[in-house]
Amino acid sequence: MSHAWRPVFVVLAVVAAIVVMRVILVPSDFTAKDGDYKYQWHRLSAEQVSKDFTVKHRGRDFCGQCHPNHIEKMKDSGHQNIQCENCHVMYEPAKKSHPINLKEDFGYLLNIGIDRSRELCKRCHAELSYRPKTYTSSKGTEKFKQIDPTKHNPGIECAMCHDVHSAGFKTAAK
């Protein structure tokens, strides 16, 4: 047999190996759903995996069941679109201070507490060269109020002066 056939056998062996590996590696339910060969190639059982995923953040309606006043206070404020969990979820369990155990009765998995640090507010309000100075709301273009934390009352917690929920100021009557 001519030595010229040898590379042909190598190529055939590689193709056979690829076909065998594909059968072994690709899950049996990997198909083009509804015959949509352009976008719908996926493992069908992955849909159930996503549905079974436990959602941890529940949004303000969940907190509002027991904290209606806070919902009311934030309603027309600059903070109206910010979820309670954005400020109150504590990623260090040691900082948890919620008096009611939300895990037992509600299956709620996050730790709720209070963070009074300047860092919390700087996350959104510190002036940064790449942070947009305006934003678009239902009323049109509005100014996104930012401060230079090195000049704006340094060393004092923001919550000493500002009412964090109404995004205004604390008053003597409070």
Q: For ligand HEC, which is the closer residue by CB, 34 or 104?
A: 104
Q: For ligand HEC, which is the closer residue by CB, 31 or 86?
A: 86
Long-range contacts at 121-126 (CB < 8 A, ≥ 24 apart): 121/158, 121/162, 121/164, 122/149
Nearest-approach distance from CB 52 to ligand HEC, in angstroms: 22
For residue 130, the 8-state DSSP code is T
Nearest-approach distance from CB 34 to ligand HEC, in angstroms: 38
Calpha distance 123→32 (Å, rounded): 43
Separate counts of helices (H) and strands (E) for the chain: 7, 6
Nearest-approach distance from CB 172 to ligand HEC, in angstroms: 14
Give the CA-trace dihedral at 148, 154, 155, 158, to 10 degrees: -60
Q: For ligand HEC, which is the closer residue by CB, 3 or 133?
A: 133
Q: How big is the chain, counted in residues?
A: 174
Nearest-approach distance from CB 24 to ligand HEC, in angstroms: 46
Binding site for ligand HEC (CB under 6 A): 60, 62-63, 65-67, 70-71, 74, 78-79, 82, 84-88, 97-100, 102, 112-114, 116, 118, 120-125, 144-145, 147, 149, 152-153, 156, 158-162, 164-165, 167
